[in-house]
Amino acid sequence: MSATQSLSYEVHGPARLEGSVTLSGAKNSALKLMAAALLATGKTTLHNVPGIADVEIMSDLLRSLGCTVDYENSTQTLSIDVPENPAHRAEYNLVRKLRASINVLGPLLTRLGKAEVALPGGDAIGSRGLDFHIQGLQDLGAQAHSEHGYVIATAPDGLKGANISLNFPSVGATENIMTAAVLARGVTTIDNAAREPDVVDLGEFLKSMGAKIEGLGTSLITITGVSKLQPTTHTTLPDRIVAGTWAFAAVMTQGDITIIGGREDHLELPLEKLVQAGAVITTTSNGFRVKMDRRPHAIDIATLPYPGFPTDLQPMAICLNAIAEGQSMVTENVFEGRFMFVNELKRLGANITVDGHHAAIHGVPVLSGAPVAATDIRAGAGLVLAGLVSEGITIVEDGFHVDRGYTDFAENLRTLGAKVSRITD
C-alpha cells in the first residue's frame, strides 16, 4: 500500500466532459460475493469483478483463510477455490484495510461453527458499529462478542432460524445475517432489511448456490436454511455509484456522457434530482445518456437507505451544489462523519456551512484550483469532479482512496476530454 499512499490526482480545470464510459462491476457487490463464496467447498467464478485495490485486499483475506484466488484482468473474472476446511480467523493486518471484510463473519460462522474476525477499518465516514451484526448472529443462536479487537462468534451445534428485526436497514448486517441464515436450521426472517441492489445481487448469488431466499429487494427477507451449498458462477451487477458519479460529472461540467451498462432503475432518485438541476437524461440501447447545457440549478438532498438518495453520492451532490445557481441544503442521515471533506472543498472556494448533519450551500459560478486531500473513496472522487469545475490546477492528495473504488478513473476522465493525471511520488 505504501506506493499507492503517495498518489495524487492532478486535475486541470475547467473542463467539459463528453463521450462514453463503460461501467465496471459494483465494488460493494463483488466484495460481498467474494466473502460469500466461503459458504461452499470448491471453485466459484465471478464475472464483471472490478480491478480495484479493495478486490485485491479481499483476495488476500480469502487467501489467508486457505482459498486459492485468481484474477484475470483482461476478462474481469475472479475465481475462488475454497478448501474443505477454511481457517476461521481473519487477521487484523488485512481486515483493518477494508470494511467489507466483516462479511466473512456470517459465512465462516455458519460453515465452521466458529469465526474470529478483527474489527474492520475502511473509510473514516462515521462510527460504523457492528451491534446489528452481532445481535443478528446471537438471535440465530450464536455466542458472539467483541474482545481484544476481534469479533468472536461460536455456534458449535450450528445456527437456528429466527425472526430478526433490524433497528436500521443496515446493508452489512442484512448481508451477514442472510449469509449465516442460509445454512441455519429452519426459517429466518429479517425485518427492516436493506433493499440495496447489492443485497439483491448477493441474494441471487446465494440462490444460485442452492439457498432458499424470498423477498429480496423488499424490507422482509425470508430464508429457509439448507444443509449444503454448491459453488457457482455469477456476474456482478454494474456499479450504480460509479454510474451516478459519471452522471454528476456530466451535469457539473455541462457535458454529455453516455454511461454504458448504467441501470437507471438503480438510480431513480439521483437521476430525478439531476433532471431538477436541468439535465436531460435519455435511455440508450445499452445504458443511459446525461446531457447538460447550462449552469445547474441547486438541488436539496437528504440521504437515506435505498431507494432513497445514496450516501455514497452525497459528496458529488455537495460538489454540484457548490457551483450551482442558488442555495441548497444537503442532509446526511446515514453516516455522521461524511461531511469531513467539506473543509477540503472550501479550500477550492466553495461557500458551505455545516451544522450537525446539514450542509447549507451557496453556489458560486466557479471554484479555484488548490491542493486538497481525499478523506474516503467517494469524497476523493467528488473532489476530482470539483477540480474539473475549478480554474487552474487542483491536486487531490491521498488519491489511493479513489483507486479503492474506481477502475481507471483518470484514464476514463481523459477519454472524456479532461486533463487529469495520477502522480506517484
Nearer to ligand UD1, 100 or 142 (CB): 100
**Beta carbon of residue 402, minimum distance to ligand UD1 (angstroms, whole number):** 14
Q: Please check whether residue 342 is in contact with residue 354, taking contact to mean a CB–CB distance below 8 angstroms.
A: yes
DSSP characters over 40-69: SSEEEEEES----HHHHHHHHHHHHTT-EE
Out of 42, 121, 126, 141, the only residue in the binding site for ligand UD1 (CB under 6 A) is: 126
Give the residue closest to ligand UD1 by C-beta. Answer: 172
Identity of residue 89 = R
Out of 88, 97, 111, 133, the only residue in the binding site for ligand UD1 (CB under 6 A) is: 133
What is the rounded CA–CA span in Å between residue 221 and residue 217? 8
Q: Is 179 in the site for ligand UD1 (CB under 6 A)?
A: no
Which stretch, 67-75, 125-133, 244-252, 256-264, contacts ligand UD1 (CB under 6 A)? 125-133
Q: Is 195 in the site for ligand UD1 (CB under 6 A)?
A: no
Out of 127, 147, 285, 356, the only residue in the binding site for ligand UD1 (CB under 6 A) is: 127
Which stretch, 127-135, 185-193, 348-356, 406-414, contacts ligand UD1 (CB under 6 A)? 127-135
What is the rounded CA–CA span in Å between residue 254 and residue 257? 10
Q: Please check whether residue 9 is in contact with residue 422, taking contact to mean a CB–CB distance below 8 angstroms.
A: yes
Q: Is 162 in the site for ligand UD1 (CB under 6 A)?
A: no
Look at residues 29, 172, 179 and name the one whose alpha carbon lies nearest to residue 107.
179
Out of 99, 240, 266, 289, the only residue in the binding site for ligand UD1 (CB under 6 A) is: 99
Q: Is 401 in the site for ligand UD1 (CB under 6 A)?
A: no
Nearer to ligand UD1, 31 or 324 (CB): 31
Nearer to ligand UD1, 170 or 254 (CB): 170
Nearer to ligand UD1, 39 or 58 (CB): 58
Give, to the nearest 10 degrees, the angle between helix 27-36 and helix 197-208. 30
What is the rounded CA–CA span in Å between residue 383 and residue 34? 30
Nearer to ligand UD1, 24 or 258 (CB): 24
What is the rounded CA–CA span in Å between residue 406 and residue 50? 8
Nearer to ligand UD1, 17 or 34 (CB): 34
Give the torsion sign (CA, 391, 397, 400, 404): negative
Residues 6+ apart with CB under 8 A from 265: none
What is the rounded CA–CA span in Å between residue 54 and residue 74? 18
Nearer to ligand UD1, 312 or 397 (CB): 312
Q: Is 217 in the site for ligand UD1 (CB under 6 A)?
A: no
Other C-beta atoms closer than 10 Å to the C-beta of 112 total 15
Identity of residue 366 = V
What is the rounded CA–CA span in Å between residue 236 and residue 201? 7
**Active site (annotated) includes residue 123:** yes
Q: Is 379 in the site for ligand UD1 (CB under 6 A)?
A: no
What is the rounded CA–CA span in Å between residue 378 and residue 160? 38
**Beta carbon of residue 125, minimum distance to ligand UD1 (angstroms, whole number):** 7
Look at residues 122, 134, 116 and name the one whose alpha carbon lies nearest to residue 173.
134
What is the rounded CA–CA span in Å between residue 173 and residue 168? 9
Q: Is 335 in the site for ligand UD1 (CB under 6 A)?
A: yes
Nearer to ligand UD1, 166 or 385 (CB): 166
The two beta strands, 114-118 and 89-90, are parallel
Which entry of 60, 70, 123, 265 is annotated as an active-site residue? 123
Number of residues that bind ligand UD1 (CB under 6 A): 21
Out of 8, 24, 28, 412, the only residue in the binding site for ligand UD1 (CB under 6 A) is: 28
Helix, strand counts (H, E) of the chain: 15, 25
Q: Is 132 in the site for ligand UD1 (CB under 6 A)?
A: yes
What dihedral do alpha carbons 266, 268, 269, 274 form, nearest 10°?
Answer: 110
Instruction: Report the first-to-last Cα separation within the chain, whole angstroms.
Output: 13
Q: Is 334 in the site for ligand UD1 (CB under 6 A)?
A: yes
Q: Is 240 in the site for ligand UD1 (CB under 6 A)?
A: no
Q: Is 52 in the site for ligand UD1 (CB under 6 A)?
A: no
Q: Is 320 in the site for ligand UD1 (CB under 6 A)?
A: no
Q: Is 48 in the site for ligand UD1 (CB under 6 A)?
A: no
Q: Which of the residues are catalytic? A: 123
Binding site for ligand UD1 (CB under 6 A): 28, 31, 99-100, 126-133, 168, 170-173, 311-312, 334-335
